[in-house]
Amino acid sequence: MLDFCVLLLLRRGPSYAADIILRLKEAELIVVEGTLYPLLSRLRRDGLLSYQWQESLQGPPRKYYSLTPDGLRVLDELDAAWEELARTVGLLKSAPPVLPAPGDVPIRL
């Protein structure tokens, strides 16, 4: 799920880790650096992200991550899976409860 959220954020454009953490926090998903950096490294090793160093006016250069074509393809697949899951859960949540009729005996397996 966190992979999906990070890829969604990077779909908007390149970003560095501290900004990704801030944007996740704004979405009420708390993630710490110790979780995010290994995830970014894994996504990069898997070919879903690339990075580029950019100079910063506020300190050392920053590593900006961006989606690769494979990352965009995987994001599309995750998005389709999410939509299907959300639809299924929505249907289950909206179905009226079925109460046993008086005298029905529950079946035990």
Give the long-range contacts of residues 66-72, CB within 8 A, separation 24 or more. Answer: 66/10, 66/13, 66/14, 66/15, 67/7, 67/10, 67/11, 70/46, 71/7, 71/10, 71/43, 71/47, 72/11
Which contiguous run of DSSP H or E holds residue 23? helix 17-26
Q: CA 30, CA 45: separation in Å to the nearest integer?
A: 24
| Amino acid (1-letter code) at residue 57 | L
Question: For every one of its 109 residues, what pLDDT tens digit does the chain have, with 9 covering 90 and above?
Answer: 999 999 999 999 999 999 999 999 999 999 998 999 999 999 999 999 999 999 888 888 999 999 999 999 999 999 999 999 999 999 998 988 877 777 766 666 6
pTM of this prediction exceeds 0.75: yes
Q: Which CATH class is domain 2-77?
A: mainly alpha
